[in-house]
Amino acid sequence: MNPMEQCENLVKKVYRHFDASHDFQHIERVRKNAFDIADTEPTANREMIELAVLLHDVSDPKYSSKEKQEEDRIIKQLNLSAKKITQVKEIITAISFNGGHEVEAETIEAKIVRDADRLDAIGAVGIARTFAYGGAKGRLLYDANETPRESMSVEEYRTKQTASVTHFYEKLLKLSEGMQTKKGKELAIERHAFMELFLENLRKETGEHI
C-alpha cells in the first residue's frame, strides 16, 4: 500500500466520528476542488496537495482539544521524508481562517488547498455544511438580535456560540475576496452570489433583518 492509500484509510477512521459538515465527503469535495485548481497551476506538487487535503481536518480543534495529535500520529505511519512532512504541515497551517488571524499561504500548494477548502465552505454546499454544524452544536438558525463581530481573537472565534446565519457574516461572505488563485477566484464568484441570494430569501421569508 502506498502512502496516499494508507493515509486515506487512516483518515477515514477519524472523519467517520465527525458530523456531516466535516466528514470524509467534505474531504472528497476539497480534493476535487484542489485538483481542478491544480490543473491550472502546472508547477504545483499534487502529492503534497492530496496529502494535505486528506490530513487537514483530522486535528481540527472544533472536534479535539489534543492539538495536532491525530495529524502527527497518522503522519508518523506514512514513512514520509522529513522534507515532505514539513511541506504538508506548512500547507495545513495555512488553511485555517482562525477568525481572520490566518497564516499567509506562501507556496502554490498552500494557496491551492486553502482555496479548495474555502470553496467547500461557500455556495450551496457551504450553506448545507453551516447548518449541519450548527445543528450538531445546538445553535440557533438565526438571531436577529445578534450583531456579527468585525474582529475577534482566535479564542473568541472558536468558543462563542453564535447563530448559524451570523457565521455567514463573520466568515463565509469574506472568503471569496481572499481566494489565492485565479481559478479559485473564478469558482468563488457564483458560490458567493448564491449565498447572497439565500440570505436575501431568508430575510423575506422570516421578515427579520438578519
- Over residues 4-18, the mean pLDDT reads 97
Of residues 136 and 153, which shows the higher confidence score? 136
Q: Backbone dihedral region of 202: left (phi > 0), alpha (psi from -120 to 50 degrees) or beta? A: alpha
Confidence (pLDDT) at 95 = 95
**Residue 9 CB coordination number (10 Å):** 12
Confidence (pLDDT) at 166 = 97
Domains in the chain with CATH codes: 3-206 (1.10.3210.50)
- Over residues 138-145, the mean pLDDT reads 96
pLDDT in tens, 22-34: 999 999 999 999 9
**Residue 152 CB coordination number (10 Å):** 17
Residue 179 dihedral angles phi and psi, to the nearest 5°: -60, 140
pLDDT in tens, 37-58: 999 999 999 999 999 999 999 9
Confidence of residue 98 (pLDDT cuts 50, 70, 90): confident
